[in-house]
């Protein structure tokens, strides 16, 4: 058998083998992101279920038992940098198991802050408006829809103002499943946007950012 014939035969055997694998494992042809998706339960309160509880899909792991800093710095059109928390009182008072704080910048230069607090202690979570008001800000709380690729989730919204400074904060809580067992951990997902023009613009930017982390509502 010539060398050319041997090469053709080897290639044919390889193709037959690949075909056999794909025949028995058609899932390998599906988009990789689908296999990386997690499901999480989100709601606007920790101590009770509200009508806004939803099950959502996300490409990211919010399990408190894992390192939340594995959430990537590059998320869609956003690039993040870690911002160390220098307020030691946060750790003394809240005793969070994990605390992630980052500044993410959009491609056009606009930016926001992401705070992710993970814990298995109820005391680790308190309304962000308390911090604003204790620092002399005026804070008004409401709730808003955050449309995803499919369906929408609810977030609490804090409109905070102090002199010329103004922030819009959206936050909600993330559990591993509908049992909402605190011993398995819960995460506060909080986005803070400085208002440079209109509050509506800051709100739209926060919603756009959240959609990069949570894809769609499962139920």
Full pLDDT tens readout for the chain, 219 residues: 555 555 545 454 554 454 444 444 444 444 344 446 899 999 999 889 999 999 999 999 999 999 999 999 999 999 999 998 766 566 556 667 889 999 999 999 999 999 999 898 877 677 888 888 988 999 999 999 999 999 999 999 999 999 999 999 999 999 999 999 989 999 999 999 999 999 999 999 999 999 999 999 997
Question: How many CB atoms sit inside 10 A of residue 98's CB?
Answer: 17
Residues 128 and 22 in one domain: no
Closest by Cα among 147, 138, 117 to 216: 147
Structural domain containing residue 130: 34-217
Residues 164 and 110 in one domain: yes
* Residue 154 token pair: 């609810």
Residues 15 and 106 in one domain: no
Residues 25 and 110 in one domain: no
Residues 5 and 110 in one domain: no
Residues 16 and 44 in one domain: no
Residues 4 and 96 in one domain: no
Q: What domain count does the chain have?
A: 2
Residues 93 and 25 in one domain: no
Question: In CATH, what number is assigned to the domain containing residue 181?
Answer: 3.40.1000
Contacts of residue 158, Cβ cutoff 8 Å, sequence gap at least 6: 127, 128, 129, 132, 139, 140, 141, 167, 168, 169, 171
Residues 14 and 69 in one domain: no
Distance CA 214, CA 69 (A): 17
Residues 171 and 191 in one domain: yes
Residues 70 and 4 in one domain: no
Sign of CA dihedral 146, 139, 110, 107: negative
Q: Global pTM?
A: 0.80
Residues 67 and 115 in one domain: yes
């Amino acid at each position: 058998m010539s060398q050319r014939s041997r090469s053709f035969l080897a290639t044919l055997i390889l193709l037959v083998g690949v075909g056999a694998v794909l025949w028995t494992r058609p899932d390998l042809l599906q988009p990789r992101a689908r296999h990386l998706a997690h499901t999480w339960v989100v709601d606007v309160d920790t101590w009770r279920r509200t009508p806004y509880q939803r099950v959502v899909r996300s490409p990211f792991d919010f399990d408190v038992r894992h390192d939340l800093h594995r959430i990537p710095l590059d998320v869609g059109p956003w690039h993040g940098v870690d911002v160390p928390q220098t307020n030691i009182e946060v750790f003394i008072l809240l005793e969070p198991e994990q605390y992630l704080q980052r500044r993410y910048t959009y491609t056009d230069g606009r930016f926001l802050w992401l705070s992710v607090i993970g814990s298995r202690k109820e005391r680790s979570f308190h309304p962000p408006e308390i911090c604003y008001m204790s620092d002399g800000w005026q804070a008004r709380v409401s709730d808003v829809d955050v449309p995803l690729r499919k369906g929408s989730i609810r977030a609490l919204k804090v409109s905070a103002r102090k002199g010329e400074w103004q922030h819009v904060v959206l936050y909600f809580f993330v559990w591993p499943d509908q049992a909402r067992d605190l011993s398995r951990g819960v995460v506060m997902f909080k986005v803070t946007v400085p208002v440079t023009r209109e509050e509506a613009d800051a709100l739209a930017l926060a919603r756009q950012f959240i959609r990069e982390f949570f894809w769609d509502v499962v139920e």
